[in-house]
Structure 1
Amino acid sequence: MPLDASRIKAILFDYGNTLIPFARPQMDACDNALREAMERHLGPVDRDRLRELRDADRLAPFKNGYRENDLTQIVTALVRRLFHRDPTPEQTAVLLRARYEAVVAAIEAPPYAAGVLAELGKHYRLALVSNYPDGKAIRASLQRTGLARSFESVVISGEVGFVKPHPRPFEVCLEQLGLPPSEAVYVGDNWLADVQGAKQIGLHMIWTRQYEAVDNFDAKTGDQQPDLTIRHLTELTSVFESKPGQTGSS
């Protein structure tokens, strides 16, 4: 069934690989910053082993009831596995800071993103629902890229305790907007977290294929389908060219 944009009052966005690229190059930049901090304060690090452990960390919530990772526990576990000892509180703080700074520095918004959001924001309420354990880093990156001003609500998994596709991040956002899911659409790239998560709570769903996600998860028999698929973020200005409550021109 085609998406009826005239019924939509709010557009909710995923962040990484939807509004901004966040794939292997950005992940490697963050992991390299963490490795450099470890080598300064703890000792030599096996790069391949670190990548293996970090990739496992990223997938862990999807094997643990969609509970988001705890940042301090992640860092502590990494040090234990790589150095066979616990980090001191000071070392933990240094590593957490290195992670935070690397994430903020790695995130760059494409030049058209702010314009697309500004155009959509003329007629629709906008919000962000993102999977990431460090809410402060995501909020700082939104300020740095200038995208923060576009969003009425920002919900990050690290601040609510669960990752998409768990319904809680979506529910928190809709509660903040005061809207039922039938009056909102979610735009995201990840088949499991975004498509299945949004559809199971009753949101309309637009699947974006602009970026190649690292962990996209394969479709399974019985999965729900998106209402619309796009190849580039800029297509949204055409999808939502009519105002809420109006039908588009034929």
Structure 2
Amino acid sequence: MQLDAVLFDIDDTLCRYRRSGADVLDAAFERTGHDPFITLSEYHDRYPEFVDDSDSMADLRERCFAAIAETKGRDPETGRTVARAYAAERDHANVEPLPGVEEALSAVEGLPVGVVTNGAPEMQSQKLAGIGLDDAFDTVVYAGYDAPAKPHPEPFETALSELSASPDRTLHVGNSLQSDIAGARAAGLGSVWVPDSDEPADPEPDYTLSTLSEFPSLLSERTATDL
């Protein structure tokens, strides 16, 4: 079966920060002089609560840090101060491509190719530019801004519409089971998981790859077996 299109996630699928979030958070607390009362896992856990209602990444982070501060009996403004320091430390263009990106994109040359990513346009566009892929995609859907955040099916449906693609003839490639695999399944797309952890595969993806360098072989096998 020929594919109509292929979609990719950005964070920890196409690229990753050269400087870890934990390092940036430590620097933010050092910059503000506050003791480190927020952990990176707390930030990531609360992040989805604010995606759909925030105006920008800076606004989202300030809301998130303020909420964590309030939960811990701190002044929410202290959380906002730390969030602003975090923003000052984070360079969204300071990213590196993950193994196999070049091979994966070469394998889909000639097909409509898009991105469906959770994150603000001003942040995610810098990452694509940082790895030289700012002009590589036919559409980029910023979920949480152009549409509800993944795993809601709408951002995938938006990309399908813009690429004139059918869901059952489209693959989405991502690292997150909760956002990418669950979202792709909800929208009726084939799902390709490139895990960055040892977590159990739930929900179960259609395909699992060790790295994106295996993606060309997957495409060949999929076509050969008429899946």
Q: 1:86 and 2:77 equivalent?
A: yes
Give the structure 1 partner of residue 23 of structure 2. Answer: 29
Give the structure 2 partner of residue 3 of structure 1. Answer: none
2-side partners of 1:58 and 1:217: how far apart? 19
Match of 1:110 among 95, 98, 119: 98
Tell me which protein shows more helix as a share of its residues.
Answer: 1
The amino acid of 1:10's aligned partner reads: A
The amino acid of 1:104's aligned partner reads: A
TM-score, normalisation: structure 2: 0.77
Gaps of 5+ in 2: none
Give the structure 2 partner of residue 19 of structure 1. Answer: 14
Distance of aligned partners of 1:69 and 1:35 in 2 relative to their CA distance in 1, 3 Å threshold: farther
**Is the partner of 1:103 in helix, strand or coil?**
coil
Q: What is the 5 A alignment of 1:172-211?
A: 172-209=158-195, 211=196
Match of 1:68 among 34, 49, 52: 52
Q: 1:226 and 2:221 equivalent?
A: no
The amino acid of 1:212's aligned partner reads: S
Superposed displacement of residue 144, structure 1:
1.5
The amino acid of 1:189's aligned partner reads: N
2-side partners of 1:217 and 1:22: how far apart? 24
8 A Cα contact 2:100 2:213, kept in partner: yes
2-side partners of 1:93 and 1:229: how far apart? 35
TM-score, normalisation: structure 1: 0.71
Q: Percent identity?
A: 22
Superposed displacement of residue 73, structure 1:
5.0
1-side partners of 2:132 and 2:158: how far apart? 23
RMSD of aligned C-alpha atoms?
3.5
Distance of aligned partners of 1:231 and 1:85 in 2 relative to their CA distance in 1, 3 Å threshold: closer
The amino acid of 1:230's aligned partner reads: L
Gaps of 5+ in 1: 1-5
Superposed displacement of residue 76, structure 1:
5.1
Distance of aligned partners of 1:158 and 1:33 in 2 relative to their CA distance in 1, 3 Å threshold: farther
